[in-house]
Amino acid sequence: MACDGTEAFTVKKAAALILALMTALSLTGCASVFDKEYFSSAEYDPPAEDTQYDGATEISSYMQLTLAINNLVSEHGDSVLLRFTGTYDGDIGEDLAAACREVSTGTALGAYAVDYISYDLDRIVAYYEAEVFVYYKRTAEELESIVSVNTESGLYNAICESLANMDESLVAMVGASSLDENAVLNYVDEAYFSDPLACVERPDAVVNVYTGNGFQRIVEIYFEYGATPSVLASRKGVLENSVERMMSAVTSESDAYKALQCLNILISECTHSEDAPPTLWAALLSGESDSEGMALAYKVLCDAAGVECIVVEGRLDRAEHYWNIITIDGANYHVDASRTSELGYGSTFLVNDTLMWGSYWWDNQYYPECSGSLYYGALIEGGTQPSDEPVATPEPTATPTPEPSPSA
């Protein structure tokens, strides 16, 4: 009996164990038990970022290296992180030094804006990493104000605009040029003479040209007008009103007669004196000016009358002298307003090159040829002289023998 009871107890105990095991299996899954898998819960901690590409510019050639540093300078950035790939085929240390030197001194922008460039180079396991630092002698605002032009004619137009606005400075990036300081100063003078009423006073200009190893130039110009912008603007308004008043005396439809009427107006308003100020204001409002001021005034009057006219900078008896060239019916002629009262119209109005050579000198490669057949006597004989102009008797003028141009 004891034996039977023990056996019954054992069977019951085994059945209970099997039941418990089955219950556990139903709750946890067979795979978890037999494969010994488990999981635990904890606060998420993201893995460290792979910095191999984050924030760095990949460099695989010297060209990419110089481009990356040049872009940094263009943006007035302080630093850039560079990562050299395994395919880089140069000496990284030597190339870094050469690229920093090339950008800072071998480019126009670097020569203008950069004080110096430094770098830190480190080996990171399987690659090299460098941080490049740029130190500037110009502000970000100064770099942003640079005007970009493709050619020298674009620079000339930028200078004209600066003078019209009476700007104190201009910085321009010229794409392809061999300009030097003297060439830029000539552009400033040319721009002023092309529109004397734009900025009223001829500016003193200081020019710096920054170059690199190529043809790119950065041209920096400082303008000094001798007066504040408000004073210049006031003078310009007074001069514009005076010119408008004077134009009421220009009544002819003929360009030749309009040019003559403008000359009459000028010599009635201004007396020539080489000791007087060389300004438009002096010629039209003060009543006395030198040849430069009178040439500027005649240019302004002809512009207002619609007669094509330019200012000529040359020499008279080897001394600096200014006069004008006008265009009538497609032909060019000299006009020297400063000498009209002294010599008469016949010797100073509608004069060709042949009659000018001898006493006068000018750059005939720069200024247009004056070979028109019209002259003052024929103009007067061919039509009615305007009533407000003085009658001047044409004077015979001996034809001088041309001589070699004297040195400037």
Domain-located, residue 331: yes
Judge if 205 and 277 occupy the same domain: no
Based on the domain organization, do 253 and 183 belong to the same domain? no
Residue 378: left if φ>0, alpha if ψ -120 to 50, beta else—which one? alpha
190: CATH? 3.30.110
CA atoms within 13 A on the CB side of 259: 31
Within-domain flag for 157: yes
Q: Are residues 259 and 279 in the same domain?
A: yes
129-137 average pLDDT score:
97
Contact 241, 214 (CB under 8 A): no
**CATH number of the domain that residue 322 is part of:** 3.10.620.30
DSSP letter assigned to residue 368: P
CA-to-CA distance for 196 and 371, rounded, in angstroms?
Answer: 26
> CA–CA separation, 121 vs 123, rounded Å?
7
Percentage of the chain with pLDDT > 70?
80
Rama region for 199: left / alpha / beta (φ>0; ψ in -120 to 50; rest): alpha
Q: Of 202, 226, 250, which residue constitutes the final position of a domain?
A: 226
pLDDT tens-digit profile of 40-61? 333 433 433 333 456 899 999 9
Domain count, the chain: 3
User: What's the domain range around 202?
Assistant: 146-226
Q: What is the mean pLDDT of residues 205-209?
A: 97
The residues, any chain, with a CB within 8 Å of residue 122's CB and separated by 6 or more, are 128, 129, 130
Q: Do the domain assignments include residue 363?
A: yes
245, 372: one domain: yes
Claim to verify: residue 298 and residue 235 sit in the same structural domain: yes
The residue from 178, 195, 226 where one domain ends is 226
Determine the 3-state secondary structure of 246 from DSSP. helix
Which pLDDT score, from 0 to 100, does residue 351 have?
95
Domain limit, last residue, from 198, 226, 254 = 226
In terms of domains, do 194 and 173 share one? yes
Name the pLDDT band for 165 (thresholds 50, 70, 90). Answer: very high
Residues 253 and 331 in one domain: yes
277 and 267 Cβ atoms separated by less than 8 Å = no
**Burial environment of residue 166 by CB neighbours within 10 A (0 to 12, 13 to 18, 19 or more):** buried
Given a cut of 80, whether residue 1 has pLDDT beyond it is: no
